Structure 1
Amino acid sequence: MGQSWVEGHLPYTELWDLKPPITFFVFAAIIYVFGKSFIAIRLFGALFVALTAFFTYKIGKEVHSRKIGVWAAISTVALLSLFGSLQGVMSEHICMAFFMPGLYIMLKSKKSVPYLLSGLLMGLAVMTKMNIAYTLLFLGVFLFYSDIRDRKWTQAIMNTFLYGFGILLIIVLTLLPYYLQGNTELWIKSVFKAPLAYIGARRYTPFELAPVYLVLAAFFILTWKKKLLDFKNVSIQYLLVAILGVLFTFYKGGRINGHYLIQLHPMLLILVVIVISKVQFFKNIRWKPYFLFMFLLIPAESYLEYINVLKNKVDRGTFFNGEGFSVPSFIQENDLDTENILFFGYHIGYWVLNSKPPTKAATHPSNICRDELFPFYDNPRKTAMEELRYIMETIQPKTVVVRKNRRVFDKKEEAENEYINAYLAEHYSVLATVEKAEILQRLKRL
């Protein structure tokens, strides 16, 4: 999506995915300046995490002490970047790099003008990750309430207005290019209507959502009863409101994926560290040399990845490892078709090969089965099965990449999985297995 923007196509016009435009703008800006550089993207991802952690430190220092800020920041780095898929650059990482400085300005500001800057940062956050909108609304209401609570009516109106104006200004600026092209409706559908349709169609059961809420409810009830947090502290109140906003976002969204918690961790960790600092057991712990050893063990998963990178350099002569690189490399080395290619997995391969997905819906493989989203980018097909049949039977990709021994689509997409498995078995053969990917070639018919 970012590459398409660099080439002159606004998001949603040539390709389509379910993210607000600032997410794509960030990637487009990196690509425009540094070219197709995974190193640049990862470095900026590290910068986003560092920026989030820095303002976690600043807020922790403002709320309690420098020591609390330091430990909250260290914990933020760990939980935002060191484990599993979180090592990749996600929209949540970008969102929080805007959100946390915006929140810090709200806590720190004593004058009206900085609230405009806070609003601008929050606008960038919501245009990066739309579900943060509820959190921004909660904070705006609390900002107004906290001023009128002190009978500062004029200040309440001015501060809230500037905060809201900053958010709206960023939203309008993302609309402007579409307005100038006469394509306002596509922006509205893609940025607002599609996420609402997605939320309505893809929800967890209340039992699946409950554990996170029960654990947090128990934590806050315990801290209130034991007086481990000063709930009268305005800065802590802001953090609580932000946390409630994120939890309400999860509830409205109907699901909590692991990477969604990136939006919760920075604020929550500040309060958790404060509570830990007041528990007598932790007060009695004295520094021991083996603590350093334990501390160095935290990024163990990253160490394993460094080993994989070095091993890949020795075996294949490149630091870039994984199917996102090895599959495109195999395709290029064997002169396979890259114009008519379909990735059901490892779809970063389109970018590496300078290729395009066969249809807008195939920009992200999972979108093929999200037929509730088709109306919002005027997809000619109305159902997932129609889209899949069109791709396989009309476009007929010559090369197809799938994940070995794994379903093509989610397990809930039974009909689509049944169709694609049967179609691939009849019309394609496995040309090669590259790590955990299978590269299929279309059979030639007489």
Structure 2
Amino acid sequence: MLKNATLFNLTNYKDLNWKTVFVVLFLIAFFIRFPFFFRDYIDRDESTFIIMAQSWINGHLPYTQLWDLKPPITFLFFATVISVFGKSFIAIRLAGVFLVAITALFTYGIGTKITSKKVSFWCAIFCVLFQSMFGSLQGVMSEHICTMFFAAGVYLLFAKQNQGWYFITGILFGLSVMSKLNMAYPLLALGIYFLWKAVHEKQFWYSFQRLFVMGIGFVCLIISTAIPYYLQNEITTWWQSIFEAPLAYSGSKQHSVVKTLPVVFVILGLLYAGFASKVIDFKSKQLQLLTVITIGILLSFMQAGKVNGHYLIQLYPFILVPAGMAISKLPSIKKKYTVIVIFLLVFLPVEAYLEYGNIVSNKMKKGTFFNGEGIDVPRYIVDNEIETKNIFFTEYHIGYWVLDETPPTKAATHPSSITRDELFPFMKNPRQTGIEELRYILEVVQPKTVITRKGKKIFDKKLEEFNSYIDGYLEKNYALVKTIDRGLIYQRLE
């Protein structure tokens, strides 16, 4: 596809086209992420999205049977994959490969509107790498979904100039916000930027039209998510779960803004240094726009009071292009150091290499590539005909999906939600506190089987009341019947 070229020696970048770039990006993403196709779960949030999606497929709108603190488009993405391909870890993780590759492709497209294809191509490659390495990024996260939609919208802002495309851009931004609500921050920053440019450049009417059409697309998307709830007389559930609950949650958190400042200062400092040294052209409208988006995302981090590794996914398409432009102006690497650079690039996805070894080892020991307690524990339960009535997973809760079961209550959909008292009013939950909910599950629902994790407190270490109660209750009323790796299977005493 590339004439006389290899990945590390592309001599004819001008011949690059979108199809070729996508194929390269997809193959890199697939290679890095493939060994994680067989893992039970990579992040607890991903497991929750799958369970919520399955509930939707079974006929229950999100937040009605089960409940989680994410907007509905995230669940719709998973529900679509499961509806088409069935209950398949491979299909879900392959969908993640497409998300990463498409986001990187739009990063390439954004770059081509500002800089060379060569710089854009390598920015796209690093976008794949950074979205797929370290921590929980090999799973399919809500950040992967919302960032793809937002990057596509930004590309259209750069590439298309008629009102029809502005409407589509608004829809894409709506999909992004309805995948992860904090993307409202960069969207608001964009709106303020456009208004400022309108006043500064005396093109208010043109900019107003542009914003108005995008706004219509955005509002249409938001309304479309409300229609199913309206038809089922659940519109208050839609409003409270999507908008009121996140505000209550963010207002109750104890995370400090100070914790986010190192990341914020580093990124803003690098941008300022680039503009001040004129390595990055501050007069470029496209670069101004990317900077505004970056600031908006950083503000959302500060509001959250923390920066998890998967949060950074939202930044990569917008910071890699100016970073790549700045790096491209540095002196060229001497040929004798090229081998070192290639070695570092090849060595970078070391987690993938380790996981390849893990699945081969698991195949040799257990006869299957699929691994993890979230798979092994349910398999043992089925093979030994252990009672699953009202089964309660305090860990490895992807097991509900594997066993075709549901959590015992709404609050137990994500195990940590049990401890979030501030969210209970929005779940329409009869219990008002987490400890009351936990007592209800164990003393009233009385699950026959409880799954916990060896060597780890069931709830956060700071929640002594929760841990003390459940530890004592399990000791008195349950017997440990099997340990599978770190998974502990308890059965209720008669």
What TM-score do the two structures reach when normalised by structure 1? 0.96
Comparing 141-150 with 413-422, which one deviates more in the overlay? 141-150
The letter for the 1-side match of 2:366 is R
Q: Contact 2:258–2:305 (CA<8 Å) still a contact in 1?
A: no
Q: Contact 1:430–1:441 (CA<8 Å) still a contact in 2?
A: yes
| 1:287-326 → structure 2 map (5 Å cutoff) | 288-326=338-376
Task: Give the Å deviation of 1:290.
Answer: 4.1
The letter for the 2-side match of 1:326 is D
Q: Hey, what's the Cα distance between the residues in 2 that align with 1:183 and 1:330?
A: 39
Structure 1 partner of 2:201:
150
Of residues 246, 250, 267 in structure 1, which corresponds to 2:318? 267
| 1:250-399 → structure 2 map (5 Å cutoff) | 250-280=301-331, 283-286=332-335, 288-399=338-449
Structure 2 partner of 1:160:
211
Aligned to 1:326, the other structure's residue is in SS state helix
Structure 1 partner of 2:38:
none
Q: Hey, what's the Cα distance between the residues in 2 that align with 1:30 and 1:284?
A: 44
Aligned to 1:87, the other structure's residue is in SS state coil
Aligned to 1:439, the other structure's residue is in SS state strand
Comparing 185-194 with 136-145, which one deviates more in the overlay? 136-145
Does residue 407 in structure 1 map to residue 457 in structure 2?
A: yes
Structure 1 partner of 2:281:
230
Structure 2: runs of 5+ lacking an equivalent: 1-51
Structure 2 partner of 1:199:
250
Structure 1 partner of 2:136:
85
Structure 1 partner of 2:169:
118
Q: Hey, what's the Cα distance between the residues in 2 that align with 1:214 and 1:240?
A: 14
Q: Hey, what's the Cα distance between the residues in 2 that align with 1:425 and 1:268?
A: 51
Aligned to 1:86, the other structure's residue is in SS state coil
Q: Hey, what's the Cα distance between the residues in 1 that align with 2:479 and 2:118?
A: 60
Q: Hey, what's the Cα distance between the residues in 2 that align with 1:161 and 1:58?
A: 25
Structure 1: which 4+ aligned runs deviate by more than 6 Å? none
The letter for the 1-side match of 2:249 is Y
Aligned to 2:65, the other structure's residue is in SS state coil
Aligned to 1:306, the other structure's residue is in SS state helix
Structure 2 partner of 1:439:
489
Structure 2 partner of 1:4:
55
Q: Contact 1:148–1:156 (CA<8 Å) still a contact in 2?
A: no
Question: Structure 1's 320 and 421: CA in aligned 2 closer, same or farther, altered over 3 A?
Answer: same
Structure 1: runs of 5+ lacking an equivalent: none
Question: Structure 1's 206 and 147: CA in aligned 2 closer, same or farther, altered over 3 A?
Answer: closer
Task: Give the Å deviation of 1:212.
Answer: 0.9
Structure 2 partner of 1:107:
158
The letter for the 2-side match of 1:441 is Q
Of residues 67, 85, 90 in structure 2, which corresponds to 1:34? 85
What TM-score do the two structures reach when normalised by structure 2? 0.87
The letter for the 2-side match of 1:285 is K
Task: Give the Å deviation of 1:46.
Answer: 0.5
Q: Hey, what's the Cα distance between the residues in 1 that align with 2:389 and 2:443?
A: 16
Task: Give the Å deviation of 1:111.
Answer: 2.5
The letter for the 1-side match of 2:334 is I
Does residue 176 in structure 1 map to residue 253 in structure 2?
A: no
Q: Hey, what's the Cα distance between the residues in 1 that align with 2:68 and 2:333?
A: 52
Task: Give the Å deviation of 1:415.
Answer: 1.2
Q: Contact 1:98–1:121 (CA<8 Å) still a contact in 2?
A: yes
Q: Hey, what's the Cα distance between the residues in 2 that align with 1:431 and 1:59?
A: 56
Residues paired across the two proteins, number: 442
Q: For 1:229-284, what per-residue CA distance to the aligned partner results, in whole angstroms no more than 9, with x for missing partners? A: 1111000011001001101111222222221111112211112222222233xx24
Q: Contact 2:147–2:176 (CA<8 Å) still a contact in 1?
A: yes
Aligned to 1:63, the other structure's residue is in SS state coil
Does residue 63 in structure 1 map to residue 63 in structure 2?
A: no
| 1:205-244 → structure 2 map (5 Å cutoff) | 205-244=256-295
Q: Hey, what's the Cα distance between the residues in 1 that align with 2:227 and 2:203?
A: 36
Structure 1 partner of 2:179:
128
Q: Hey, what's the Cα distance between the residues in 1 that align with 2:254 and 2:152?
A: 31
Q: Contact 2:135–2:309 (CA<8 Å) still a contact in 1?
A: no
CA-based RMSD: 1.4
The letter for the 2-side match of 1:357 is P
Aligned to 2:125, the other structure's residue is in SS state helix
Q: Contact 1:402–1:408 (CA<8 Å) still a contact in 2?
A: yes
Task: Give the Å deviation of 1:294.
Answer: 2.3
Comparing 150-159 with 162-171, which one deviates more in the overlay? 150-159
